[in-house]
């Protein structure tokens, strides 16, 4: 990619300026994270006075104490794990066999089935019919509803199907010789050979589930079922206007801002933990397979 | 009669040999029907006087009345205008950034430095909209936010950014660029990686500088990718990040922030006017469908690369 040997002395200024500029861009990307971490570790008074800019002021973990002592925080955290793990497993159960079937040349009506999947990328019934459908299916306020309703999408199926199609048929023929049927061919040939693509789809699912908020907010009223993102939204948009909560802040070592920042940090940490794995796969550009069918 | 039996036999033979494929396919097809095609059936309420008690089938037809109401409504027209303006601005400012970043990455010779920077700039893509809205709200807060602190240092008055209609779009578009520019550059980096190295080799022999090579070789070589990505973007013009808007806007900023999807969300899910909101959604979906199809046709004609 980089043309190491292809650079003359006259380019030095250009190369250095470029390095500095791109470094500045990276720093400006990083800054909001540093700011929010510092905010979460500052005292409520310092935050309120607007003195937190880069590093924590009056270092304290009071905001974390407040967050971790809220039962709702733990309920929501647990729910997010349920939705993430349950949802990702459900996705793989539907997507892997479906993508395999859609990649088979001998599938009757293959063009039709593929079009039926792809069409949903171009035309969508929209928020209201989707919501009413969920209500009619009695899937409001339900763990199962959230897990199943977002388990699949055209993009992931097409991505995996394309990968399956790119696997030379000679691998499969060898297994067929040994008398393998479709279930076995999928399990013993296609799945092992498609690990990078399956890993990509898995990571897409995990990230989408962990971050998903809009439909969880719309479909779940029961506070015992809401995920972390919905709780976080509640804290961010409603707590700051909540006078009762504001009253508890007088003389407290934390403020709405430091508490918000602390929850943000708590919900980013798991993302940071899996991020190195995510990076490894996305760098290979596997996701490009999904752009073209 | 004989033909029919042979045909039935053939189908039976096919199923006997391949039934497992259909078993594997079934969950996917059922899922698509239940969760994506069934709502399309429900879209008919856009033409009905829908009531929860009568249900979708039992509610009476009223033709295009909801569409008349929508296009007579200042709120909907405003939402439509805002959608177009916000998309255009996002395209104008957001589209070039990943290309510039990819070109810059390509000029970084130190691989460790490059990898580190890439790791940092891809990160925000994986952070949820709620968290980003939390960061934005904290940073732009009137009393404690860092933006106002810095304004204060330079002697400017503090601004309550999130209640000011004129500040909504810059903040929304800026945070979108911050979140996605890095990750979106991957596509262009992949295109750059595919450029034939011998082009650069012969350019070096001719004494070209890196700056010249970028303009004369790299950019023309990745132009097809740039055009395809631009067409995809135009196809998705109506898709503004309405989740982020829901998190950031407030009645004081509706005039510049309210888009079609946030309007649908309020009218439908908060006010409960399902039929009217579904009509707005249908309008949105049809326009989006036409845009995407047009985009695909154009891309087929000009780049011989169809998007699907």
Assign residue A135 the CATH number of its domain: 1.10.3720.10
Domain-embedded: residue A45: no
CATH number at residue B184: 1.10.3720.10
CA A206 to chain centre: 5
Report ipTM for this prediction.
0.90
Interface list for B 12-41 with A (CB within 8 A):
14, 18, 20-25, 27-29, 31-32, 34-36, 38-40
B180/B257 same-domain check: yes
As a whole number, mean pLDDT of residues A202-226 equals: 93
Per-residue pLDDT band at A5 (split at 50, 70, 90): low
The rounded distance, in Å, linking the Cα atoms of A48 and A240 is: 13
Per-residue pLDDT band at A2 (split at 50, 70, 90): very low
B53/B196 same-domain check: no
Domain-embedded: residue A57: no
Domain-embedded: residue B163: yes
What range defines the domain where residue A159 resides?
A: 68-293
The rounded distance, in Å, linking the Cα atoms of B234 and B293 is: 11
Domain-embedded: residue A250: yes
Task: Express each pLDDT in A78-95 by its tens digit.
Answer: 999 999 999 999 999 999
B13/B144 same-domain check: no
What pLDDT does residue A104 have? 94
B82/B219 same-domain check: yes
Q: Do A14 and B31 touch (CB under 8 A)?
A: no
Domain-embedded: residue B63: no
Domain-embedded: residue A108: yes
Query: Which residues from B are below 8 Å from A263, CB to CB?
Result: 134
Domain-embedded: residue A62: no
Q: Give the number of domains in chain A.
A: 1
The rounded distance, in Å, linking the Cα atoms of B46 and B129 is: 30
Q: Give the number of domains in chain B.
A: 2
**Residue of chain B whose Cα is closest to the Cα of A28:** B178
B15/B119 same-domain check: no
Would the pLDDT of A108 be above 60?
Answer: yes
Tally Cβ neighbours within 10 Å of residue A174. 11
Of B131, B144, B189, the CB nearest to A48: B144
Domain-embedded: residue B218: yes
Per-residue pLDDT band at B161 (split at 50, 70, 90): very high
Task: Express each pLDDT in B101-138 by its tens digit.
Answer: 999 999 998 889 998 999 899 999 999 999 999 999 99
Domain-embedded: residue A132: yes
Q: Which residues contact A286 (CB under 8 A, 6 or more apart)?
A: A163, A196, A197, A200
Would the pLDDT of A292 be above 60?
Answer: no
B36 exposure class (CB count in 10 Å sphere: 0-12, 13-18, 19+): buried
Q: For residue A51, what are its two tokens? A: 């003195």
As a whole number, mean pLDDT of residues B166-180 equals: 95
What range defines the domain where residue B32 resides?
A: 2-58
Task: Express each pLDDT in B240-287 by its tens digit.
Answer: 889 999 999 999 999 999 999 999 999 999 999 999 999 999 999 999
Asked which of B37, B58, B79 is the last residue of a domain, the reply is B58
For residue A190, the 8-state DSSP code is I
SS3 B61: strand
**Residue of chain B whose Cα is closest to the Cα of A137:** B34
Q: Is the dihedral of CA B121, B127, B131, B133 positive or negative?
A: positive
Domain-embedded: residue B64: no
B7/B79 same-domain check: no
B17/B91 same-domain check: no
Domain-embedded: residue A36: no
How many beta-carbon pairs under 8 angstroms link A with B?
299
C-alpha distance from B279 to closest chain A C-alpha (Å): 9
């Amino acid at each position: 990619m980089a043309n190491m040997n292809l650079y003359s002395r006259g380019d030095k200024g250009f190369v250095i300026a470029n390095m500095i500029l791109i470094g500045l861009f990276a720093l400006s990307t990083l800054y909001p994270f540093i700011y929010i971490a510092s905010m979460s570790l500052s005292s409520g008074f310092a935050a309120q006075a607007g003195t937190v800019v880069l590093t924590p002021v009056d270092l304290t973990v009071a905001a974390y104490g407040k967050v971790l002592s809220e039962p709702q925080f733990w309920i929501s955290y647990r729910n997010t794990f349920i939705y993430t793990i349950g949802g990702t497993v459900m996705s793989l159960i539907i997507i892997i066999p479906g993508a395999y079937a859609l990649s088979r040349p001998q599938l009757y009506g293959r063009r039709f089935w593929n079009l039926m999947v792809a069409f949903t990328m171009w035309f969508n019934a929209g928020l209201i019919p989707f919501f009413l459908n969920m209500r009619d299916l009695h899937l409001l306020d339900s763990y199962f509803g959230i897990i199943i309703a977002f388990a699949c999408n055209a993009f992931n199926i097409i991505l995996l199907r394309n990968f399956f199609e790119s696997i030379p048929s000679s691998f499969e023929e060898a297994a067929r010789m040994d008398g393998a049927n479709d279930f076995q061919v999928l399990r013993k040939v296609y799945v092992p050979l498609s690990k990078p693509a399956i890993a990509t789809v898995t990571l897409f699912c995990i990230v989408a589930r962990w971050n998903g908020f809009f439909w969880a907010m719309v479909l779940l009223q029961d506070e015992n079922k809401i995920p972390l993102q919905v709780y976080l939204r509640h804290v961010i948009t409603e707590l700051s206007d909540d006078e009762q909560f504001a009253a508890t802040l007088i003389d407290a070592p934390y403020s709405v801002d430091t508490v918000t920042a602390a929850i943000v940090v708590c919900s980013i940490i798991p993302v940071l933990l899996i991020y190195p794995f995510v990076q490894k796969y996305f760098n290979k550009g596997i996701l490009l397979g999904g752009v073209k069918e | 009669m004989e033909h029919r039996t042979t045909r039935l036999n053939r189908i039976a033979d096919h199923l006997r040999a391949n039934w497992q494929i259909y078993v594997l396919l079934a969950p996917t097809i059922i899922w698509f029907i239940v969760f994506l095609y069934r709502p399309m059936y429900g879209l008919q309420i856009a033409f009905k006087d829908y009531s929860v008690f009568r249900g979708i089938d039992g509610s009476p037809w009223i033709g295009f009345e909801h569409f008349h109401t929508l296009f007579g409504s200042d709120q909907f027209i405003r939402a439509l205008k805002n959608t177009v303006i916000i998309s255009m601005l996002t395209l104008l400012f957001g589209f070039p950034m990943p290309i510039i970043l990819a070109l810059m990455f390509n000029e970084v010779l130190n691989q460790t430095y490059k990898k580190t920077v890439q790791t940092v700039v891809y990160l925000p893509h994986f952070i949820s909209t709620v968290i980003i809205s939390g960061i934005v709200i904290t940073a732009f807060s009137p009393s404690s936010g860092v933006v106002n602190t810095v304004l204060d240092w330079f002697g400017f008055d503090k601004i309550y950014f999130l209640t000011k209609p004129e500040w909504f779009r810059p903040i929304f578009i800026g945070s979108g660029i911050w979140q996605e520019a890095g990750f979106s550059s991957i596509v262009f980096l992949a295109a750059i990686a595919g450029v034939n190295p011998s082009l650069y080799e012969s350019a070096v022999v001719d004494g070209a500088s890196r700056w010249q090579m970028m303009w004369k070789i790299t950019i023309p070589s990745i132009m097809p990718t740039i055009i395809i990505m631009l067409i995809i973007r135009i196809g998705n013009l109506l898709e503004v990040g309405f989740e982020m808007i829901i998190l950031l806007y407030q009645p004081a900023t509706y005039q510049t922030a309210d888009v079609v999807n946030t309007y649908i969300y309020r009218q439908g899910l908060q006010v409960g006017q399902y039929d009217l909101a579904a009509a707005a959604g249908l309008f949105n979906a049809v326009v989006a469908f036409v845009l995407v199809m047009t985009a695909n046709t154009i891309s087929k004609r000009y780049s011989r690369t169809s998007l699907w």
